[in-house]
Chains A and B, each alone.
Chain A
């Protein structure tokens, strides 16, 4: 018997045990992860009466879409509100995402390529934003927004949300740019492109996956943000979904199926978008954050 087979034989036996452990763990983790979401969906299909039973109906006996119909019906007050909140959330999230990409891309590029004085200091100052919690900025920011005349406008939210997304966006993108060979730009420069043209026409397209990842991150952050939206906006017609959800709850405390239906519809856009685009996000983390 050769040395190699001696080594590989016992390995297979042992690895199987570990692999089974891995499978069992994954199975348990999938249940932990998915069960709450499944229960949210099942509850949203029950009537108010069917939901309030003990023991619960594990499977809805008379599934109904009435809660979804109510939320999407513009002629009812709840439906009209829900649709408006949804629109507000879309507007705020999309604008935040566009602004975040526009601000983060050049900054990350400069942090990766240029060697201006204060580069390291500025880079880490940006990253430090991650350390500050939203809540302690509430009062001063509220006062600042009042000073700027932005209270009760979506602009106040967009400006604030920008700063949540920026640190991670800049960090991820910088890692991406670090991995793009500088020779590509040099070639473009030799062919007569300006530094900005080389950036726009050569580097930007190559970093598209990183930009997509950054965009997803900003969008999800803006879509889900609650504290600032709760504080800065007091007018009903301006509210975003997380605040609107809380308002539904405050007004109809016992309408759990309706609340679950609203939660479900609120989660669908981000989850679908994330599932479609998640490989970019994972790749950006792999290549950008944890370079090798």
Chain B
């Protein structure tokens, strides 16, 4: 990513590589003016909260948002979390929610992207319709699905009865075992089209000649997809899957509006649990410690994300 084209290298006036860092910073001082607003905003809204959260995670806090009489307790908040039985339950829910949502959103997005790749009449309209869930407000979508899943008057239950698949409308989001799959269906509905457009963009980078060549060599459509198309989508796939995974891991609105973590905590994931701990039970210290653990997981994913971006950037410049 840092390698630059010859043209832009010539364009820049900068001197030899031997000049000191400070000198180079000074030389480029006007460049920073362009990025400064972005950096300042990011610093205010990210750096301070990150620092504050880490600090808070080592303190015992009183309820209420004044947070004046906090006392240092070291790692006790972390111990509380890891020793609670809820922790493992919530973690398991989070894993199921994240992995299943990401997998199905990617799979459906890929299938749609492949189906829409070929030019045909009405393709633009179909693509537009498929993209709508992605732009509709998550709050509105959650209420709509809550109404669809309604245990007495929900249209889905009625449909199952009308088709003879059930004798009476099933409880979907009021049932401990079914609530998580039901929420995953909503989540996938909302975000598969993101994977779809990313992959549609990626598909355009697959060279047509290569597919022809494979065809001439007798590869069937599946072989052409697996050995030619898919390897070209590797960069996009990594970025898309990572972005989906992060968005799902942090997906708050759908579980919060649809079930609030219920019934009996069976649809609590990390993020809703943290919110509940902080704003419901006002255990700010424990919630902060949870947040720090979440930071760490995100940073690990973040390293992969940056590396994936870097790699696809480099292969681009090489090509």
Bound CA span A78–B302, Å: 44
Minimum CB–CB distance from B137 to chain A (whole Å) comes to 4
* CA A29 to CA B107, docked complex, whole Å: 12
A selection of 13 A-B contacts at a CB cut-off of 8 Å is: A7-B216, A14-B221, A26-B126, A30-B130, A55-B158, A106-B34, A116-B31, A124-B306, A127-B305, A135-B250, A136-B291, A137-B53, A267-B140
Chain B CB within 8 A of A241 CB: yes
The interface residues of chain A lying within 8 Å CB-to-CB of B129 are 30, 33-34
Partner of B52, one of A54, A122, A143: A143
A53 (CB) vs chain B CBs: closest residue: B153
CB contacts (< 8 Å) of A234 on chain B: these are none
Are the CB atoms of B243 and A249 closer together than 8 Å? no
* B74 touches A (CB below 8 Å): no
Let me know if A159 and B44 touch, CB within 8 A: yes
Q: Which residues of A contact B46 (CB under 8 A)?
A: 129, 132, 137, 163
B135–A134 touching, CB < 8 Å: no
Q: How far is the CB of B25 from chain A (nearest CB, A)?
A: 5
CA A40 to CA B67, docked complex, whole Å: 43
B221 touches A18 (CB 8 A): yes
Partner of B25, one of A23, A116, A142, A292: A116
> Residues 110-139 of chain B: 1 if any A CB is under 8 Å from the residue's CB, otherwise 0?
011011101000001011111111011111
Chain B residue with Cβ nearest A199: B34
- The B-contacting residues of A in range 116-149, CB under 8 angstroms, are 116-120, 122-144
Contacting A at CB under 8 A, from B57-82, are 65, 67
- Give the interface SS of chain A, mostly helix, strand, loop or mixed: helix
Q: 8 closest A-B pairs (Cβ-Cβ)? A: A133-B250, A110-B34, A22-B115, A140-B49, A116-B28, A136-B291, A263-B140, A107-B38
Q: Whole-angstrom distance from the CB of B290 to the nearest CB of chain A? A: 8
Q: Given A7-B215, A55-B162, A166-B38, verify A33-B189 contact (CB < 8 Å).
A: yes
- Contact (Cβ within 8 A) A242 B38: no
Given contacts A127-B306, A140-B48, contact A107 B34 (CB under 8 A): yes
The docked-state distance in angstroms from the alpha carbon of A181 to that of B6 is 12
Residues of chain B within 8 A (CB-CB) of A118 are 25
Q: How many Å lie between the Cα of A52 and that of B153 in the bound state?
A: 6
Known contacts A29-B130, A39-B148, A282-B201: A263-B250 contact under CB 8 Å: no
Q: Which listed residue (B31, B136, B144) contacts A110, Cβ 8 A? A: B31
- A90 an interface residue at 8 Å Cβ cutoff? no
Chain A, interface size: which category?
35 or more
B152 at the interface (CB under 8 A from A): yes
Within 8 A of B (CB), among A43-93: 43, 51-56
Tell me, rounded to whole Å, the shortest Cβ–Cβ distance linking B2 to chain A: 5
Say whether, besides A135-B252, A270-B136, A285-B198, A290 and B205 are in contact (CB < 8 Å): yes
In contact, A139 and B305 (Cβ under 8 angstroms): no
**Interfacial chain A residues near B221, Cβ < 8 Å:** 14-15, 18
CB distance from A54 to the nearest CB of B (A): 6
A285 to B9, CA, bound (A): 26
Is A259 located at the chain interface by the 8 A CB criterion?
yes
Q: Are A127 and B271 in contact (CB under 8 A)?
A: no
Which residues of A are in contact with B by a Cβ distance under 8 Å? 7, 11, 14-15, 18-19, 22-23, 25-26, 29-30, 32-34, 36-37, 39-40, 43, 51-56, 102-104, 106-107, 109-111, 113-120, 122-144, 159-160, 162-163, 166, 170, 181-183, 185-186, 195, 220, 223-224, 226-227, 231, 241-242, 245-246, 249, 256, 259-260, 263, 266-267, 270-271, 274-275, 278-279, 281-282, 285-286, 289-292
B264 at interface, CB cutoff 8 A? no
B176 within 8 A of A: no
With known contacts A131-B305, A163-B45, A286-B204, A182–B294 Cβ distance under 8 A:
no
The answer, yes or no, to whether B105 is at the interface (CB within 8 Å) is: no
* A107 CA / B35 CA spacing, docked (Å): 4
**Interface status of B165 (Cβ within 8 A of chain A):** no
A276 → chain B, closest Cβ, in Å? 10
Is B309 at the interface (CB under 8 A from chain A)?
yes
In contact, B28 and A182 (Cβ under 8 angstroms): no
Q: Are B169 and A54 within 8 A (Cβ)?
A: yes
**B144 contacts A37, C-beta separation under 8 Å:** yes
CB pair B48 A144 closer than 8 Å? yes
Whether A54 pairs with B153 at a CB distance below 8 angstroms is yes
Report yes or no: A223 in contact with B137, Cβ–Cβ below 8 A: yes
CB nearest to B221 among chain A residues: A18
B106 in the interface (beta carbon within 8 A): no
Say whether A117 contacts B139, CB under 8 Å. no
Report whether A39 and B139 are in contact in the complex, using a CB–CB cutoff of 8 Å.
Answer: no
B278 — nearest CB in chain A belongs to which residue? Answer: A139
- Say which residue of A19, A267, A274, A292 sits within 8 Å of B319 (CB atoms): A292
